[in-house]
Amino acid sequence: MKITGNAIIAQGGGPTAVINQSLVGAIQEMKKHPEIKKIYGALHGVRGIIEENFLDLRQASNENLEQVANTPCAALLSTRDKPDLEYCAKIFQIFKKHNIRYFYYIGGNDSSDTVRLVNEYAIKEQYEFKAFHIPKTIDNDLVINDHTPGFGSAAKFVAEAFMGANLETKALEGIYLGIVMGRHAGFLTAASALGRKDQTEGPHLIYLPERPFSIDSFLSDVQKVYDQYGRCVIAISEGITDENGMPIVAKLKENVTKDAHGNIELAGGELGDMLTKAIKDQLKIGRVRADTFGYLQRSFPGTVSDTDQKEARLAGQAAVKFSMMEDYQNGSVVIIRTKEYEIEYQLTELQNIAAKTKHMPEEFINQEGNNVTEAFIQYGLPLLGENFKKTTNIEAPLVNISK
Amino acid sequence: MKITGNAIIAQGGGPTAVINQSLVGAIQEMKKHPEIKKIYGALHGVRGIIEENFLDLRQASNENLEQVANTPCAALLSTRDKPDLEYCAKIFQIFKKHNIRYFYYIGGNDSSDTVRLVNEYAIKEQYEFKAFHIPKTIDNDLVINDHTPGFGSAAKFVAEAFMGANLETKALEGIYLGIVMGRHAGFLTAASALGRKDQTEGPHLIYLPERPFSIDSFLSDVQKVYDQYGRCVIAISEGITDENGMPIVAKLKENVTKDAHGNIELAGGELGDMLTKAIKDQLKIGRVRADTFGYLQRSFPGTVSDTDQKEARLAGQAAVKFSMMEDYQNGSVVIIRTKEYEIEYQLTELQNIAAKTKHMPEEFINQEGNNVTEAFIQYGLPLLGENFKKTTNIEAPLVNISK
């Protein structure tokens, strides 16, 4: 027996460049199924649900939806709210009030937990209900998933940024540090290597949160590369810590500022500025530059992976398709790689995704812990899409001149 | 009478995303003219000339050259050397030694001055010689030129970065500051507005080096926008100063660090971090984020303007064409806008470009000095190229719910 009623969809957490592809993929699929009556879009994620702030998505034209799909960031707006039990109970009451029988939530692992909790209320009250989590995160840290929608586009941004930085240090020499997002998982920082042509090209060093960071080894690594190539390009995760889990920026900071709660305040550009200072002071190298990629890397419209777009759209569509099958009541859509390069969408139980973090596997990190392996390149490259092109050096011989 | 001999080309100063288009445009045009025998490429700009470090560019395949044209940053590598009279005399000696009769230098206003000085030696020694400057700079600050090759692509990066930032603050609220390159000219910072759909969208405030910056007016502007929209996106030039020309970052810095020469050290992320702190402390707004775009904006491969590519290529070609005309001995290629939107290439005397800086004209800046005018949008938009697309909001009505 099929459930008939209204549907709601929402977007949560940090945005990505393709989260609207999943939204539009789900909406267009919903329209195909007569069991679904109204299609609501909650504004600002779960907050829009409890505030009953819904858009009537059936009124959006196909033309508008297709343009929205190609726009980065959450078209339904987002939220940082992490619902507790009481919040989820409230969500469920709203669902009952509006005869909402289908719930789709596009988000990271916190969002999957919200779907799980809301769904538990439905089970307890024997309310006929289908609840699905659609994955997204630039951090690529959802377990079970081979990769997550949003990662490929952010990875393309990071890879291209380092292709530019590599060419810059070749043209003008010096040291370049790029600080990349990802507090606990190093995938996005590792993506800095995806545009590298060979080992002489940058990034020459890559530091991930999966390995403890030592400032002494770092400086000695940098000196070694600089001696060899006269330049050095370095990718660093914002989340690097020492062997005790202490953030490196806090260690380097002479006068640590604490906020009202006693937490150490980590301002945007500080890690890069401090490592720059360490290199200048201790290695006596003059031209050292650091960029903190910050928010640029997650909603940048200009450099979206076409593969990521396609996959994100199909992930949204897959969630609705699963919800229409009698075998599935709820779950989280996961992306499984079946061959090089193909994927398929499967469904896993919500609790398998919630509150878990995937890290870079051992085989993706080199032994010294300062670079990625070829296995990572093979893994990551297909995700950047068809339009990703490496840079080219000029191929002409030096003129033989007796000076 | 036509001059027969060898030619040399080089690239100087900060790279751009399309400087290799000018290089390849010039090389391909040179190949058409039998007067030009060898085609040398000096490595690392003028430094490669005095070190006689030349590539034999006739050996580069067309296929390789076309790929190089699509690669950002200087394929012949660059230099920060600013030749004085003695340095230029040395360059001229090398030219005589190698029978170099054609000199093309792709660079900013310093580079045009180098071309001028070298050319003066040739005139003094009655050496038959043609010397041309090909413009490039992301700062768009060369006089006479309507705009410069390299600006359009950097402007596209900045516009797209702010389109993403605008969507981010809409989805998650708060304040966003983007610090943009350009120490003396505000064109690149102004480009932050080129993706803006209307005045409710960010950037809501734009601060340029052409106007003195006051921290008090800044904070009051931010508060006003925040009260109105619940968020605020701000573009700030790295070069902002107070009414006495003192850099704002130096004013805000409590413990000013000075380097060996007594210059104030301005680290990468500091201006953004300090303005963030000022907003948090004085306006008591919680979610404030700053990104310093740094080196990302000038050699980013992923988001190059096709118009900029085309124009840069034709600028290189134009220099060689001018050099083949008997009427022209030397000069700087300039881009003149003839209608909306068409350009033509003209030639101006070298001294007209050298050591001069173009600033944002009055009509491009609003009266309050905290935004750009519609005239700037009309000026800048064609430079971003055909592939520049604005973002789209979802168009669906709110559901009318009695709560």
Mean pLDDT of A171-199: 95
Q: What is the pLDDT of residue A307?
A: 98
Contact A270 B269 (CB under 8 A): yes
Contact B303 A303 (CB under 8 A): yes
Contact A396 B269 (CB under 8 A): no
Neighbours of B110 (CB within 10 A): 17
Q: What is the pLDDT of residue B189?
A: 98
Amino acid in position B210: E
Contact B59 A396 (CB under 8 A): yes
On whether any CB of chain B is under 8 Å from the CB of A300, the answer is yes
Residues of B in contact with A392 (CB under 8 A): 64, 67-68, 70-71
Residues of B in contact with A68 (CB under 8 A): 392-394
d(C-alpha A316, C-alpha A332), whole Å: 11
Nearest CB to B273; choose among A44, A270, A397? A270
Interface test with B, best of A308, A390, A394 (most B CBs within 10 A): A394
Token pair belonging to B65 = 């050259």
Q: Distance from first CA to last CA of chain B, Å, rounded?
A: 88
Residue B65 CB-half CA count within 13 A: 20
Q: Is the pLDDT of residue A259 over 60?
A: no
Question: How many contacts (CB atoms, under 8 Å) link A and B?
Answer: 263
What is the phi/psi pair of residue B315, to 5°? Answer: -65, -40
The residues near A284 (Cβ < 8 Å, ≥ 6 apart) are: none
Contact A292 B291 (CB under 8 A): yes
Degrees to nearest 5, angle at CA B374 with B370 and B377: 95
Residues of B in contact with A14 (CB under 8 A): 172
- Secondary structure of residue B344 in the 3-state scheme: strand
What is the phi/psi pair of residue A316, to 5°? Answer: -65, -45
Token pair 């938009």 in the structure block, residue: B381
DSSP letters, B122-170, are HHHTT---EEEEEE--TT---SS-SS-TTHHHHHHHHHHHHHHHHHHHH
Q: Looking at the complex, report in whole angstroms how far the Cα of residue A296 sits from the nearest Cα belonging to chain B.
A: 6
> Which of the four pLDDT bands, split at 50, 70 and 90, describes residue A265?
low
Helices (H), A98-147: 109-124
Give the nearest chain B residue to A77 (CA atoms). B171
Nearest CB to A164; choose among B53, B268, B300? B300
Residues of B in contact with A394 (CB under 8 A): 41, 55, 57, 60, 64-65, 68, 75-76
Q: Pairing between strand B36-42 and B5-11?
A: parallel
Contact B291 A268 (CB under 8 A): yes
On whether any CB of chain A is under 8 Å from the CB of B402, the answer is no
- Put the strands of the sheet holding A36-42 in their side by side order: A54-56, A36-42, A5-11, A100-107, A130-135, A330-339, A342-348
Q: What is the pLDDT of residue A286?
A: 84
Q: What is the pLDDT of residue A158?
A: 98
Residues of B in contact with A399 (CB under 8 A): 38, 40, 52, 54-56
Contact A392 B289 (CB under 8 A): no
Q: Mind listing the pLDDT tens digit for each residue in A190-201?
A: 999 999 999 899
* Element of type H or E holding B10: strand B5-11
* 3-class SS letters over A343-376: EEEEEECHHHHCCCCCCCCHHHECCCCCCECHHH
d(C-alpha B380, C-alpha B189), whole Å: 12
Token pair belonging to B352 = 């007209």
Q: What is the pLDDT of residue A256?
A: 54
Burial class (CB in 10 A: 0-12, 13-18, 19+), A202: buried
Cis bond before residue B212 (omega within 30° of 0) = no
Q: Mind listing the pLDDT tens digit for each residue in A314-370?
A: 999 999 999 999 999 999 999 999 999 999 999 999 999 987 899 999 999 999 999
What is the phi/psi pair of residue B158, to 5°? Answer: -65, -45
Contacts by residues A310-314 (CB-CB < 8 Å, ≥ 24 positions apart):
A310/A21, A311/A149, A311/A152, A311/A335, A311/A343, A312/A16, A312/A18, A312/A19, A312/A21, A312/A22, A312/A25, A312/A136, A312/A149, A312/A150, A313/A18, A313/A21, A313/A22, A313/A24, A313/A25, A313/A69, A314/A25, A314/A345
Tell me the whole-structure pTM to 2 decimals.
Answer: 0.95
Separation of CA A277 from chain center:
29
Residues counted in chain B: 403
**Poorest-pLDDT segment among A44-53, A151-160, A258-267, B309-318:** A258-267
Q: What is the pLDDT of residue A243?
A: 93
Residues counted in chain A: 403
d(C-alpha A20, C-alpha A284), whole Å: 48
On whether any CB of chain B is under 8 Å from the CB of A95, the answer is no
Neighbours of A282 (CB within 10 A): 13
Q: Is the pLDDT of residue A235 over 90?
A: yes
On whether any CB of chain A is under 8 Å from the CB of B68, the answer is yes
Q: Are B330 and B130 in contact (CB under 8 A)?
A: yes
Q: Among this protein's residues, is B139 annotated catalytic? A: yes
On whether any CB of chain A is under 8 Å from the CB of B258, the answer is no
Q: What is the pLDDT of residue A270?
A: 86
On whether any CB of chain A is under 8 Å from the CB of B82, the answer is no
Contact A165 B59 (CB under 8 A): no
Amino acid in position B106: I
d(C-alpha A3, C-alpha B275), whole Å: 54
Strands (E), B231-363: 231-237, 288-292, 330-339, 342-348
DSSP letters, A248-277, are HHHHH-SS--B-TTSPBP--TTHHHHHHHH
Contact B56 A15 (CB under 8 A): no
Beta bridge partners of A102: A7, A130
Residues of A in contact with B79 (CB under 8 A): 172
Better pLDDT: B179 or A255: B179
Contact B71 A391 (CB under 8 A): yes
Cis bond before residue B203 (omega within 30° of 0) = yes
Q: What is the pLDDT of residue A401?
A: 84
Residue A220 CB-half CA count within 13 A: 6
Sign of the torsion angle spanned by Cα atoms A61, A65, A67, A68? positive
Residues 359-388 of A with CB under 8 A from B: none
Q: What is the pLDDT of residue B256?
A: 54
Q: Which residues of A are known to be catalytic?
A: 139
Nearest CB to A294; choose among B65, B289, B403? B289
On whether any CB of chain B is under 8 Å from the CB of A61, the answer is yes
Better pLDDT: A254 or B136: B136
Residues of A in contact with B272 (CB under 8 A): 268-269
Nearest CB to B168; choose among A56, A299, A303? A299
> Which of the four pLDDT bands, split at 50, 70 and 90, describes residue A269?
confident
Token pair belonging to A386 = 């068809």
d(C-alpha A327, C-alpha A117), whole Å: 20
Q: What is the predicted ipTM?
A: 0.94
Contact B71 A397 (CB under 8 A): no
On whether any CB of chain B is under 8 Å from the CB of A309, the answer is no
Q: What is the pLDDT of residue B355?
A: 80
d(C-alpha B357, C-alpha A163), whole Å: 30
Beta bridge partners of B339: B342
Residue A168 CB-half CA count within 13 A: 31
Neighbours of A157 (CB within 10 A): 31
Which DSSP state fits A199?
T
Q: Pairing between strand A342-348 and A330-339?
A: antiparallel
- B41's torsion region: left (phi>0), alpha (psi -120 to 50) or beta? beta
Mean pLDDT of A255-260: 54
Nearest CB to B156; choose among A53, A302, A398? A302
pLDDT digits (tens), chain B, 403 positions: 689 999 999 999 999 999 999 999 999 999 999 999 999 999 999 999 999 999 999 999 999 999 999 999 999 999 989 899 999 999 999 999 999 999 999 999 889 999 999 999 999 999 999 999 999 999 999 999 999 999 999 999 999 999 999 999 999 989 999 999 988 999 999 999 999 999 899 999 999 999 999 999 999 999 999 999 999 999 999 999 999 998 888 887 755 555 555 555 556 788 998 899 999 999 999 899 999 999 999 999 999 999 999 999 999 999 999 999 999 999 999 999 999 999 999 999 999 998 889 999 999 999 999 999 999 999 999 999 998 999 999 999 999 887 7
Residues of B in contact with A268 (CB under 8 A): 269, 272-273, 276, 289-292
Distances (CA, A) of B371 to A178, B183, B186, B375: 30, 17, 11, 12
